[in-house]
Amino acid sequence: MTEASLRRRGLLAAAAGLAATPAAAQRRYGDDAPPQRYPDPDIVALDPRRFTAPLGNSAIRRLHTGMQWAEGPAWHATGRFLVWSDIPNDEALRLTEEDMKVSRRFRSPSGFSNGNTFDREGRQIAFRHLHRDVVRYEPNGRVTVLAARGPDGPFNAPNDGVVHPEDGSLWFTDPGYGALMNYEGERVAESANSPRPFIKEAIYRIDAQSGQVTKVADEPFKPNGLCFSPDYRTCYVADTGASHYPEASRIIWAYDVDGPRLRNPRTFASMALEGKNGMADGIRTDERGNLWSSAGWVGDGYDGVHVFAPDGERIGLIRLPEICSNLCFGGARRNILFMTASQSLYALPVETRGAHFC
C-alpha cells in the first residue's frame, strides 16, 4: 500500500471517529463534570504512526475559565509558572505549577498585551496592543521599551514573538489587530475603515546587542504566531490575513533562517481540512520537529489544535469546545500542552516535549 493510501486510510478512520464519538462542544468541563473515560475521544490521530504524542490515559482538562479572549501563554522554567493574557480585560494572569491555581491580575493594566515570552535571563517580554510596542519587565519592576517603531515607522500593534537562545535576538510579528478595535487595544482613526492600520504588516527582529530593529519579512498578509524549528534553521509564521483580506490564504509559512535574515518564503501547511478552512494563530514545535498550531473560526470538530509533521502533513487533532488562540509547552519537563482558547485555559499531558522553553 502506498504512503498516500495509508494517509488517506488514516484520514477516513479519523473522520469515522469524529462521527462516532461525542463532539467537543457537547463535552462537559469543570468540577461538576463526570470523569473522562480513556482514551480521550477529543484527541484524534489522523496518522497514528507519526502522531505518537497522545497518552492513552491522559485527558484534556479545563484549568480556568471566565476570560474574554485568552492569548499569549508562556512558561517560566525557573519560576515554574505560566503567564498568559486576557486582552480585552487588559490584564495578564498566572498559573503556578505547584498547585495549578490561577492568580488573576498578575499584571493590570497590561497595556492590552497579546503575546508573552521570556528571555535568557528569565525576564518577561510582552507585545502590547495599546502602546503598540514591545516591552521587557525588569526584576526591579521597571518597564523597558525594547521597540516602538520599525524602519518604516511606528508599529501597528505587535502580536507574538520568541527569543533566539544563541544570540538573544527577539523575533516578533506585527499584524495590527490592536489598532483596529477598542476591544483589544485602541482603534486609531486612520485604521477605522482599513484592514491595514499604518504600515505593511511584517515580521521583525531586535538585535540583542545594539537594539536595532530590522524588518525580516512581509509576505504574510497578517503574520501572527511565530516559532522556530528545534534546530532554529526554520522559522514558521501563521498567517491570519483572511480575517481582513479576502485574497489571503489560510496557511502557515516557512522560512529558512540565515543569520539575522529570513529567506525562501514558502507554504508549510494549509489549514484546510475535509472541506473546512479555518485559521492558525499561535504555534509551537516539539522536540521531534512537529508543529502544534492553535486553530479556529470553523466550529465543532475543527477548533482546537492541529498537529503537523515536519513535512507539513496534518497528523493529529485536539478538539476543544472553543476557538483556540495560542499554546505552549510547559511544566517541569515541558511535556504539558497549555492551550488558551477564547474564554478558557486547557492543559493536556503529552508524550513529547516542547522544542524550546517558552
* Partners of 257 in the β-ladder: 262
Instruction: Please give the pLDDT value at position 18.
Output: 47
Three-state DSSP class for residue 211: coil
> What is the pairing mode between strands 143-147 and 170-174?
unpaired
Name the nearest CA neighbour of 319 among 83, 9, 45.
45
CA distances to 73, 147, 290, 340 from 218, rounded to whole Å, are 25, 18, 24, 27
Confidence of residue 15 (pLDDT cuts 50, 70, 90): very low
Tell me how many degrees the CA angle 66-222-219 measures, rounded to the nearest 5.
155
Query: How sure is the predictor about 103, in pLDDT bands with cuts at 50, 70 and 90?
Result: confident
CB-based burial, 333-344: b 16+ in 10 Å, e otherwise: ebbbbbbbbbbb
pTM over 0.85: yes
Q: What is the pLDDT of residues 156-208, one digit of tens each?
A: 999 999 999 889 999 999 999 999 999 999 998 765 566 666 899 999 999 99
Average pLDDT, the chain: 92
To the question of domain 3-349 being in CATH 2.120.10.30, the answer is: yes
